[in-house]
Amino acid sequence: MDARDIIIAPLITEKSMAGTVHQQYSFEVHPRATKTQIRHAVEAIFKVNVLKINTTNVGGKLKNFARRGMRSSGKQSDWKKAVVTLKPGQKIEIAGLNYFEQ
């Protein structure tokens, strides 16, 4: 897999923004990506040094739909989250802007 295939998107939430104070950044990653692949992808894309990676598999939520008098249910896809800790003094910027610290 290519580095751009492993890192799908950054997670921009209140909890992930609070982690940026401690050089921790959250990403949605490919479900079959290993910690080593994630480390190499983050280092290649953002040109930073990674200290530690924590991963978790997040289960998809069950959803109910009502449309035209008919009820049905479905399930969102499962996904994988990675929390990447960088060396002190480093930060991630995307296109020259720091989206994580605003």
pLDDT digits (tens, 9 = 90+) for 61-96: 999 988 888 999 999 999 999 999 999 999 887 656
pTM score of the predicted model: 0.84
In CATH, 3-86 is 3.30.70.330: yes
C-alpha span between 82 and 54 (Å, rounded):
6
Per-residue pLDDT at 17 exceeds 90: no
Furthest-apart CA pair in the chain: how many Å?
A: 57
Contact predicate 36/44, CB 8 Å: no
- Among the listed residues 48, 51, 24, 53, the one whose alpha carbon sits nearest the alpha carbon of residue 38: 53
What pLDDT score was predicted for residue 98?
A: 65
Stretch 46-71: mean pLDDT: 93
Q: What are phi and psi of 47, to 5 degrees?
A: 55, 50
Q: Name the residue ranges covered by the structural domains of the chain.
A: 3-86
Secondary structure (3-state) at 28 = strand
Residues sharing a CB contact under 8 Å with residue 89, sequence separation 6 or more, in sequence order: none
